[in-house]
Amino acid sequence: MPYYRIYPLNPNGRVQPPVDAECADDASALVAASLLEERVANGCEVWELTRFLGRFHFGMTRPPQGAAHGA
């Protein structure tokens, strides 16, 4: 089975330490990434060894930094 690395992004879009995942294929790796919820709330990069699958956001929304809540 291929090994993937899921790199969560911080609010500034910089990669954070990866989460390793052993997945059957690319689609399974994306499912694994989406299940990390809070870890990938700002998006993530998914890699299989040196092959970059892309930068992904899973429809989770966060207010912009500094935005007022409940105004």
The pLDDT of residue 59: 67
Residue 2, classed as helix, strand or coil, is: coil
pLDDT band at 48 (very low <50, low <70, confident <90, very high): very high
pLDDT band at 46 (very low <50, low <70, confident <90, very high): very high
In the predicted model, is pLDDT for residue 33 greater than 80?
A: yes
pLDDT, averaged across the chain: 85
pLDDT band at 71 (very low <50, low <70, confident <90, very high): very low
Q: How many CA atoms lie within 13 A of 29 on its CB side?
A: 27
pTM (global) more than 0.95: no
